[in-house]
Amino acid sequence: MTLPDTYTAYPNRREGYDHDLYDWSNMHERKPVHWPAGRVAVWFCVSLEWFPIQPGGPFTAPGHMVTPYPDYRHYTARDYGNRVGVWRFLEAFEKAQVKASFATNAAVAERYPALTQAIQAGGHEIIAHSTDMNGTIDASLGKEAESALIADAMTRIETATGTRPTGWLSIARQQSFDTLDILKDQGLTYCCDWVNDELPYRFTNGLIDLPLNHELSDRQIIAVQQQSADSWAQGMRDAFDWLSKEAADTGAGRMLPIHLTPYIMGLPYRIDALETLIADFVQREAAWIAPGCDIVSAWQSQQ
């Protein structure tokens, strides 16, 4: 089959992705970023999820129910994270005197007021994480329905916590072609869905992306790859060591996002690996441990 002469004449073909959503660039060609302390910004981001016992939405969210209704085994395992596991996270952060981000479903903010109060009392950040784990987004949803979904999540979280989030994490990091503009219209400063970088960058509409790489999550390493908690923690140390050396060699700051799930890492035989890792990073001169909003603010001040 012979290709038509116009095949290589795609009008949007250019360096990087073929779109105008942001200005593409290599990280090593950008103006160096310098953090308030250290060379590597370490960002702990915890997902607080409520899974309806019946899956719904355009697609099934990662971690959703598996066996036929009523799937009590997986439903209660997820509930364990919000009843038990996340409190161990809060204790670990308090012990080390570090601040984290909590990506929170609106349903969690409403159902667990004592939890969100403890998060806020600890000085942690709440990021909007849709309505619940059926509140998924893709292009089939339609702009009107997606706008209503995001607005509903933002309003409910603000009502339940008294604070309107500045950051957004979509379920499964999934967006439609309309999501960026909808998030901007809702007054959000940044999202965490695009994982194609290791530093913040700005979309052309003004929204900022704070990349939350799924490869560094406990779900991916422990639940999917079936590695141990100690292996996960060692992977985080290896990543930090590499980034720290790279930052020292280039004179430019780097970022290490660590995505945590309470019903996975909050189990009693895994939590020590997290506590030990946090304590290790606190002792490292090259580490600046901060919530997402502070990392974004530090980056913005240098642009």
Instruction: List residues bridging with 45 in a β-sheet.
Output: 101, 259
**What is the pTM for the complete model shown?**
0.95
pLDDT in tens, 43-78: 999 999 999 999 999 999 999 999 999 999 999 999
Residue reference for tokens 């992977």: 235
pLDDT < 50 regions, the chain: none
pLDDT recorded at residue 1: 62
CA distance 200 to 81: 29
Please tell me the predicted confidence (pLDDT) of residue 20.
86
State the Cα–Cα distance between residues 212 and 197, nearest whole angstrom: 9
Q: Residue 194: what pLDDT?
A: 97
pLDDT at 13: 73
Please report the pLDDT score of residue 237 as a whole number.
98
CA 133 to the chain's CA centroid: 15
pLDDT of residue 11: 73
Q: Give all domains of the chain, ordered by start, each with its CATH number.
A: 34-300 (3.20.20.370)
d(CA 146, CA 121): 32
